[in-house]
Amino acid sequence: MEILPSNEAVLRKLKKYGLAKKYEKQTKLLENNLYHPSLKVELLEPKKLGIYSFRIDRKFRALFIFQKKGEVIEVLNVTVHHN
């Protein structure tokens, strides 16, 4: 699985919240095993939009979509995860 380079908005948030190393670790897991337990990948509502999230840490999640028939991942944003 390929992950596209992060857009400027994602890079700014990673820097702002000091998440760069955690994000890099989690995206490597995502590339190798979409179902790794620490990622907690989930399809968000409304499901028809096809937006997923994975855990960066307990507080932050990254939103992403699949492109090219599930072969490529594009991370759209980094958000605070409310439990």
Q: What's the DSSP call for residue 51?
A: -
In the chain, domain spans: 2-80
Q: Whole-model pTM?
A: 0.91
Contact, 69 vs 80, CB < 8 A? no
51: buried, middle or exposed (CB in 10 Å: 19+, 13-18, 0-12)?
A: middle
Both structure tokens of 50:
């096809």
**Average pLDDT per consecutive 10 residues, the chain (83 residues; last block may be shorter):** 92 96 96 94 95 96 92 94 69
Distance (Å, whole) CA 76 – CA 7: 7
- 2-80: CATH superfamily: RelE-like (3.30.2310.20)
